Structure 1
Amino acid sequence: MGFIKNSRNTYIKFKLGLSPQQTLFYGFLTYITVGFLVLSIPFLQHKPVAWIDNLFTAASAVSTTGLLTVPLTDSYNFFGQLVILILIQLGGIGYLTFTTFVILSTTRKMTHWHQKILQTEFTLPNTLKIKDFLKSVVLFTLIMETIGIIMYFFAFKEVGFTFWNAIWSAIFHSVSAFCTAGFSLDPNGFTAYLDNGLINATTSILAISGSLGFIVVTDLYLYLRNKDHSLSFTTKIIIYGFICLLTLGTLLLYFTEPTLSTLESKERFMVSFFQSMSAMTTVGFNTIDFGLFSQAVLLITIFLMYVGASPSGTAGGIKITTLTAILAIMKSGLQGNKTVTFLRKRIPKDRLQIATSTFIFYTLLLILGTLLVSYTNDFKFEDILFEVASALGTVGLSTGITADLDSFGKIILSLLMFIGRLGALTFGLAIWYKSKKNVKIINEEDLAL
């Protein structure tokens, strides 16, 4: 009993000594480790799967990416697929989110430790309270995934699925789409449903709902419930930015991609919209082979994956708000203004610092990841860059080289997927965290630019 008590005290002391960023780091790392160990059990496999592929699959599921090095249904049986689905749900909804929701539902009290972790994982504007936000996360997730299951069920029944296959496929794809994971039970993804309006619409609704983020959902809900509640500046930027980038991506694919020229106008628009939506929401589903696209369109897709959608949502990337802040900094700098504004609103300096750090560190990770994978894998540069951008952005789109990467390349992509889910800035703070007690006052010096 004494050993158990001492071990428990040691663990509590270790846990409380971690920064919120480090807690998230170890939390998601634990999810991946447990997932890897469970998926390595032969009982869950149709055929033997190498350890590196089990690790890659676990990292891809927890990070809600969708990249795979082995065929999902050929490698894992129903129970293996169920484990993957659970990992996707845990990764999508966030670390400690469901646990804290249960605590709030029973005791209506949130510990200071839980509050610190959640405020770090979900960056919120000052107009939203963490308790209201947390409830909306869980309830909105359940509602949207249930709607998705119903819509997918009828869609899969319509294309000839048996009753039970339609149910399982509907459940799996609904969770995968809302969490923007991009895992599919079909080895060819959704390429067989290029012109299927119901499947395209269901996937788009779920992915956009998840990627726009729980900030927007909570803000809109409070606005509809109470007209005195005004939409936050963050929500407006996310909605405007998302519409502009999605429209731009769709039009560029529609008018510039030679591969789509053989399709009829309606199908061409559906394909252009779906691929742009998939890249930007980082859902990772595709209705056409990205390996056929031109270099220009691949670059457009990489940019959309790089940006992503909304903070505190299921999407990856640097986020629309970060891009907005960077553009505002650039505009103010070129105009010689000391105050950084956007749409006649001044952006706080601490938010600008976070945006700049995220932009620089994320870009460095993208470059470094591409460099490392290029060292040991002989593929076209644009294919490797696309793959790395997809992994870091937790997207899951691929030009078809994932399964052919060597073990080193798979490990690098696994690490990038983990960083992408954790968030580049959170990862950096977890690695380089220093207690404020140890910070020394440094004299200011000028730097010519």
Structure 2
Amino acid sequence: MDFLKRIFNRYRRFKLSKTPQQNLFYGFLTYVVAGTLLLSLPWLQKESAPFIDHLFIATSAVSTTGLVTVSVFDTYNLFGQFVVMILFQLGGIGYLTFTTFMLLSTTRKITHWHQRLLKTEFTLPITIKINDFLKSVILFTTIMELVGAILFFIAFKIEGMETGTALWNAIFHSISAFCTAGFSLFNTGFTAYIDNGLVNFIIAFLAIAGSLGFIVVTDFTLLLRKKEHKLSFTTKIIIYGFIVLLGLGYLFFYFYEPSIQILEGSSKGYAAFFQAMTAMTTVGFNTVNFGAFNLSMLVVTVFLMYIGASPSGTAGGMKITTLTAVLAIIKSRLRGSDKITFLGRVIPFERLYIATSSFIFYTILVFLGTFILTFSESFALEDIIFEVASALGTVGLSTGVTVDLTNIGKVTIIVLMFIGRLGVLTFGLAIWMKSKNNEEKHILEGDIAV
């Protein structure tokens, strides 16, 4: 008993000595390590696979990416598939979200350490309190995944699937879709359901709900409960940006992608919308083969994956709000304005600083990932860029090269997926941030021509 108490005290001192960013880093890393060890157990497997592939699947699940080097259905039995599902469920709702909610439900208050950690992981506007946010996350996630499972079960039964199989597939794919994880028990993805309006609707419904983010959900919940509450500036930007980008993506795919243009009837509209939606929400499912896309449409897809959807949601990418801030800076500079504004609102300098840093760091990582893979892999450049953007954006789409990655390529993609889930700035701060005691006291001011 004393031994366990000493271990617990050491662990407590360790986590309290770390910054929130470092705690998130070690927290998600713990999920990955635990998941890898579990998936490596022989009695969770149908057939053996190299350790690197178990690590790849565990990281992909925790990061809610969906890229796979081996088939989840063919490699893991029901228990192994369940472990994968738990990993992307934990990755989807965030580190410590569920445990903090339970703590809040029992004691009605959370520690300062929990608050700092959650505010670091979920960037919230000042109009939303962390307690309201946590309740919305858990309640909304439970409701959406339950509704999704019921709808999926009905859709799979209509398609003639056996009851037990339909039930498990419904639960697995509902959680995967809402968490924008992109994991499927179908080896060909959802290509068999390209003209199935119900399945297309269910996935889009869940993925959009998850990717719009818990900020939007909390905001609308407070709007319904409190008449005096007004939608935050963040929510408005997210909704406007999402509609515009999704609409543009749909039009590009519908009119300019040959593999979609050859489809007939409703299948063409379904496919165009689904592919734009899956890249924008970073859900990672597909109903057509991205490997057959022409180069220009691959670029459009990379752009949508690069941007992603909403902060504090299940989607990855650089985020709509970051793009908005960068565009606002460009617009204000070109107009010679001293203030950075968007939709008639002045954006705080702190948010602009974070947005530009995120944009630059994100772009550097895309370049570095591409650079490394050009050495280790023999794929076409567009396939490599697509894979890197998909991994860092935690999307899960691929032109079909993932299974052929070398070990160096797999490790590179693993690192990118992990960084993508953690957040590029959070990762950078976890690795390089100095404590206040170590800050340099004497820094000389300099100038630079730009």
- Would you call these one fold, judging by a TM-score over 0.5? yes
Give the aligned partner of residue 433 of structure 1.
Answer: 433
How big is each residue's C-alpha offset from its partner over 1:388-445, in whole Å with a ceiling of 9 and x where there is no partner?
Answer: 1000000000000000000010011011000000000100010111112322242322
What's the counterpart of residue 129 of structure 2?
A: 129
Matched with 1:88 is: 88
Distance in 1 separating the partners of 2:399 and 2:178: 23
Q: CA deviation at 1:225?
A: 1.6
Matched, 1:345 2:345: yes
- Cα deviation for residue 10 of structure 1 reads 2.4
Which residue is 1:75 aligned to? 75
Structure 1 CA distance for aligned equivalents of residues 5 and 231 of structure 2: 49
Q: What residue number does 2:202 align with?
A: 202
Q: Distance in 2 between matches of 1:225 and 1:6?
A: 46
| Displacement of 1:265 | 4.6
Q: CA deviation at 1:159?
A: 0.7
Which amino acid is 2:65 matched to?
T
Give the Å deviation of 1:351.
0.3
TM value normalised by structure 2: 0.98
Instruction: Measure the CA separation in 1 of the matches of 2:142 and 2:3.
Output: 41
CA distance change for structure 1 residues 212 and 441 in 2, over 3 Å: closer, same or farther?
farther
* Superposed displacement of residue 189, structure 1: 0.3
Amino acid at match of 1:276: A
| Amino acid corresponding to residue 192 of structure 1 in structure 2 | A
Task: Give, in angstroms, the shift of residue 2 of structure 1.
Answer: 5.4
User: Residue 198 of structure 1: SS of its match in structure 2?
Assistant: helix
**Is the partner of 2:133 in helix, strand or coil?**
helix
Matched residue, 2:270:
270
1:66 paired residue number: 66
Residue type matched to 1:424 in 2? V
Residue identity in the other structure for 2:111: T
Structure-1 separation of matches of 2:326 and 2:444: 27
Map of 2:371 onto structure 1:
371
For each residue in 1:302-323, what CA deviation from the matched residue of structure 2 results, as whole angstroms up to 9, or x when unmatched?
A: 0000000000000000100000
Provide, for residues 335-371 of structure 1, a one-character-per-residue CA deviation record: whole Å limited to 9, x for no partner: 1112111111000000000000100000100110011
Aligned residue in 1 for 2:393 = 393
2:306 counterpart residue number: 306
Structure 2: unaligned runs, 5 residues or longer: none
The separation in 2 between residues aligned to 1:66 and 1:11, in whole angstroms, is 32
Q: Deviations over 1:2-43 (max 9, x none)?
A: 554443332222110100000000000000000000000010
| Separation of aligned partners in 2, 1:48 and 1:163 | 28
Q: Which amino acid aligns with 2:376?
A: T
SS at match of 2:131: helix
1:184 corresponds to: 184
Q: TM-score, normalised by structure 1?
A: 0.99
Determine the structure 2 residue equivalent to 1:99.
99
- Give, as a single letter, the amino acid of the residue that structure 1 aligns with 2:346: R
Query: Residue 214 of structure 1 aligns to which amino acid in structure 2?
Result: F
Q: 1:186 is matched by which residue type in structure 2?
A: F
In the TM superposition, residue 160 of structure 1 has moved relative to its aligned partner by 1.1
Equivalent runs, 1:33-72 vs 2, <5 Å: 33-72=33-72
**One-letter identity of the residue aligned with 1:87:** L
- Cα separation, 1, equivalents of 2:46 and 2:8: 39
Report how far residue 334 of structure 1 moved.
Answer: 1.3
2:332 matched residue in structure 1: 332
What amino acid is the match of 1:384?
I
Unaligned runs of 5+ in 1: none
Residue aligning to 2:25? 25
Let me know the Cα RMSD of the aligned residues.
0.9
Distance across 2 between alignment mates of 1:353 and 1:447? 18
Cα deviation code 1:257-296 (max 9, x no counterpart)? 1122211252211101000000010000000000000000
1:228 alignment partner, SS class? coil
Query: Match for residue 421 of structure 1?
Result: 421
SS at match of 1:43: helix
Letter in 2 for 1:220: F
Task: Give me the whole-angstrom Cα distance separating, in 2, the residues matched to 1:6 and 1:88.
Answer: 32
Please state whether the residue corresponding to 1:408 is helix, strand or coil: helix
SS of equivalent residue, structure 2 residue 239? helix
Rounded to whole Å, the distance in 2 between the matches of 1:286 and 1:378 is 25
| TM alignment of 1:172-251, pairs within 5 A | 172-251=172-251
Taking the aligned partners of 1:91 and 1:250, their CA distance within structure 2 comes to 28
Q: Which residue of 2 aligns with 1:442?
A: 443
Instruction: Name which of structure 1's ranges 5-14 and 115-124 shifts more when overlaid on structure 2.
Output: 5-14
Distance 1:5 1:226, change over 3 A: closer
Quick one: which amino acid aligns to residue 373 of structure 2?
V
Is 1:168 the equivalent of 2:188?
no
SS in 2 for 1:351: helix
Partner of 1:355: 355
Q: Matched residues in 2 for 1:62 and 1:321: separation?
A: 24
| Distance of 1:68 and 1:325 partners within structure 2 | 33
Q: Distance in 2 between matches of 1:7 and 1:197?
A: 54
Distance in 1 between residues matched to 2:5 and 2:28, nearest whole Å: 26
CA distance in 2, matches of 1:178, 1:364: 29
What amino acid is the match of 2:178? F
Paired with 2:314 and 2:205, the residues of 1 have a C-alpha distance of 13
Aligned mates of 2:53, 2:437 — CA distance in 1 = 43
- For residues 307 and 359 of structure 1, the distance between their equivalents in structure 2, rounded to whole angstroms, comes to 10
Aligned-partner Cα distance in 2 for 1:374–1:179: 31
Which residue identity is paired with 2:397? L
What amino acid sits opposite 2:445 in the alignment? E
Q: 1:147 Cα shift?
A: 0.4
